[in-house]
Structure 1
Amino acid sequence: MHTSFKKTLALSLLGIALAAPAVAQDKPKVAFVPQLIGIPYFNAMEAGGKKAADELGVEFIYSGPVDTNPVDQLQIVQNLIDQGVNAVAVSVLDASAIAPVVEAAKAKGAKLFTSDSDAPDSGRAVYVAQATDEGLGATIIDELVKRVGEDAKIGIVSGEATASNLNAWIGFMQKQAKERYPKLTLLEPQFAGGTAQRAAQIAGDLMTANPDIKGIIAVASSTCPGVAQAIETAGKTGSVVGTGYCSPNTARAYLKSGSFGFSVLWDPAQLGYLTVWAGKQLIDGKTFEAENSVPGFAKPVTYNAETGVLLLGPPAVFTADNVDQFDF
């Protein structure tokens, strides 16, 4: 009886051991590779991705470069593909370099898609967009003109020069200025990479070289603190209006001090959630509809089959009056 029990137990344990890897393999893996780790914006996307993974039954992997280096980013993406991750989303740093990695993913049976920053000509499976590039570019110009006037001089401090999303927003800022505010002067964009310190230096130089400047736009979330601090350091709070694409938590102190008049963004946690949801749809072989019902979203998420863009929604404007209603 004792021997029989031991045999039964051994067989049971063997069965568990054999079954365990199969269960682990059955759980699809969705990864997101940000432009940069360790900043509030992408931290919020990570949190949204984790929430989606828990609710949708997938394993979520978050891995990205420690600085805005396109080569490092693409290596991380390639490593994830080589490890057998089923779907990999990337906030693209260099749109011109990602197409071969998309092909490598296809060869492995993986789905490579973009989120937050696109590479439209790369063959990516879908682009999970936070808002339309045109909407973001037009909104920040319209809101700034309300505060500085239609004939003001405005500086632009961006992040990495190769970031397709940042460049697209700048392009639509320029388009909006040209078409709606012909007297507005937009200075040539300056690029700070991913550091607030470099952004502060550039913003300070812009104010010194252009004493009549009325506004400065921080295009990357990582450049927002630098631009705001430069305005404060120069004693220009109130005479130079800072703004940018930054989260309420990043912008809160600057909105309240007056160095920032407003900021424009969306909810990056929702964007992270939508990214993982889209990855799961791709893994399951499901097609996106013109309107998609996503768990936890109040409104349907739209999809443009022609452009391959899944759209989170319109941009939001945060000010000193409403910033405390948000926490991300």
Structure 2
Amino acid sequence: MLKTSKILLAAAVVLAASTGLSFAQQKPRVAFVPQIVGIPYFDAMKKGGDEAAKTLGVDFIYQGPVDTNPVDQLQIVQNLINQGVEAISVSVLDASSLAPVVEAAKAKNIKLFTSDSDAPKSGRALYVAQASDQGLGYTIIDEMVKRTGPDAKIGIVSGEATASNLNAWIGFMRERVKEKYPKVTLLDPQYAGGSAERAAQIAGDLMTSNPDLKGIIAVASTTCPGVGQAIETAGKVGQVVGTGYCSPNTARAYLKSGAFGYSVLWDPAELGYLTVWAGQQLIEGKEIPAKTTPEGMSHPVTFDKKTGVLLLGDPAVFTADNVDKFNF
């Protein structure tokens, strides 16, 4: 009888220990899949995500493709779904192909949402937006016209042709030109993929084939260095105004050389932080208020329940005069 009791007690201890381990096995996991790894912009998003994970008590997973390949990106997302990661966010490279993985995630009760680049028709849980697409498109055109005049010819060097965020910004650039600056000529976008070298080549060709070109807009962070270098190499500093959606650290040298007149962006570290916070809310089934200040953030964000857009804030404009106040 005593021996049996000891066996039962030992079994109970093992069961309790294993049960305890199952409860302590892992924190809720929030993943972010960028468009490409190894560039300053997404590195800053990772830094913000890491900080949020510490503050909010979740595990943050950061995995992405080594080049801007939609197939590779979707494979990474599917792998995370297979691992049962509770919330997965994606900076979408190809909006048309996301819907099937959203359905695969739903089948496993996984919250799949977008951040930085959206796929609004995919069924995603929500979209963490850096600034409104309209605000970004309008701001970059308004600032360009201030510097080039209202009848300038302006070129566009974008990243991937399928990237929904880049295409949305270009759409609002066109809208702003049509409605407010009818004498501005906005050339059709040229696509460089994720290559700064290709962006430099395209920008150089634009200046050669359009001697009257007054401005070039780099729409992807990966194309910013190429556009800046091309303007410097062509000896067009002061003649062609470069700009783009570039981080201060990426744009700094070109702002100071004069190749860039300004750049427009937001704080990607804050975007990464907000992405992880949003993932936590989804995992916990919390309703996001129309306006709230997330734990660990210093300013409020807004949420449109109808569109599912969680908005970080207004775009920021960086110039040679203020760029050294920022480090990302």
TM-score, normalised to structure 1, is: 0.95
Separation in structure 2 between the aligned mates of residue 257 and residue 17 of structure 1, nearest angstrom: 62
Separation in structure 2 between the aligned mates of residue 61 and residue 285 of structure 1, nearest angstrom: 20
Separation in structure 2 between the aligned mates of residue 247 and residue 13 of structure 1, nearest angstrom: 53
Q: Which residue of 2 aligns with 1:318?
A: 318
Give the total of aligned pairs: 321
Separation in structure 2 between the aligned mates of residue 93 and residue 254 of structure 1, nearest angstrom: 27
Residue pair 2:218, 2:245 contacting (<8 A) in 1 also: yes
Query: SS at 1:31's partner residue?
Result: strand
Q: Which residue of 1 aligns with 2:264?
A: 264
Separation in structure 2 between the aligned mates of residue 283 and residue 148 of structure 1, nearest angstrom: 48
Q: Which residue of 1 aligns with 2:273?
A: 273
Q: Which residue of 2 aligns with 1:3?
A: none
Q: Which residue of 1 aligns with 2:236?
A: 236
The Cα of 1:263 is off from its aligned counterpart by: 0.2
Q: Which residue of 2 aligns with 1:19?
A: 20
Q: Which residue of 2 aligns with 1:135?
A: 135
Residue pairs, 1:143-222, within 5 angstroms: 143-222=143-222
Q: Which residue of 2 aligns with 1:109?
A: 109
Residue pairs, 1:262-301, within 5 angstroms: 262-301=262-301
Separation in structure 2 between the aligned mates of residue 14 and residue 47 of structure 1, nearest angstrom: 39
Query: SS at 1:320's partner residue?
Result: coil
Residue 260 of structure 1 aligns to which amino acid in structure 2?
A: F
The Cα of 1:305 is off from its aligned counterpart by: 1.0
Separation in structure 2 between the aligned mates of residue 253 and residue 230 of structure 1, nearest angstrom: 13
Q: Which residue of 2 aligns with 1:4?
A: none
The Cα of 1:300 is off from its aligned counterpart by: 1.7
Residue pair 2:138, 2:173 contacting (<8 A) in 1 also: yes
Separation in structure 1 between the aligned mates of residue 276 and residue 61 of structure 2, nearest angstrom: 10
Q: Which residue of 2 aligns with 1:40?
A: 40
Query: SS at 2:217's partner residue?
Result: strand
Q: Alpha-carbon deviations, 1:103-136, whole Å to 9, x = none?
A: 0000011000000000001100000000000000
The Cα of 1:297 is off from its aligned counterpart by: 2.5
Residue 233 of structure 1 aligns to which amino acid in structure 2?
A: T
Residue 234 of structure 1 aligns to which amino acid in structure 2?
A: A
The Cα of 1:293 is off from its aligned counterpart by: 2.1
Q: Which residue of 2 aligns with 1:30?
A: 30
Residue pairs, 1:239-258, within 5 angstroms: 239-258=239-258
Query: SS at 1:317's partner residue?
Result: strand
The Cα of 1:14 is off from its aligned counterpart by: 8.2
Q: Which residue of 2 aligns with 1:80?
A: 80
Query: SS at 2:183's partner residue?
Result: coil
Separation in structure 1 between the aligned mates of residue 21 and residue 177 of structure 2, nearest angstrom: 59
TM-score, normalised to structure 2, is: 0.95
Residue pair 2:115, 2:128 contacting (<8 A) in 1 also: yes
- Higher deviation after alignment, 298-307 or 235-244: 298-307
The Cα of 1:163 is off from its aligned counterpart by: 0.0
The Cα of 1:20 is off from its aligned counterpart by: 2.8
Q: Alpha-carbon deviations, 1:86-110, whole Å to 9, x = none?
A: 0000000000000010000000110
Q: Which residue of 1 aligns with 2:94?
A: 94
Aligned CA-pair RMSD: 1.6
Q: Which residue of 1 aligns with 2:3?
A: none
In the alignment, structure 1 segments of 5+ residues that lack a partner are 1-6
Residue 99 of structure 1 aligns to which amino acid in structure 2?
A: A
Residue 193 of structure 1 aligns to which amino acid in structure 2?
A: G
Residue pair 2:46, 2:272 contacting (<8 A) in 1 also: yes
The Cα of 1:30 is off from its aligned counterpart by: 0.3
Q: Alpha-carbon deviations, 1:239-259, whole Å to 9, x = none?
A: 000000000000001100100
Residue pair 2:55, 2:296 contacting (<8 A) in 1 also: no
Separation in structure 2 between the aligned mates of residue 316 and residue 96 of structure 1, nearest angstrom: 30
In the alignment, structure 2 segments of 5+ residues that lack a partner are 1-6
Query: SS at 2:25's partner residue?
Result: helix
Residue pair 2:52, 2:296 contacting (<8 A) in 1 also: no
The Cα of 1:298 is off from its aligned counterpart by: 2.7
Separation in structure 1 between the aligned mates of residue 315 and residue 25 of structure 2, nearest angstrom: 39
Separation in structure 2 between the aligned mates of residue 201 and residue 299 of structure 1, nearest angstrom: 40
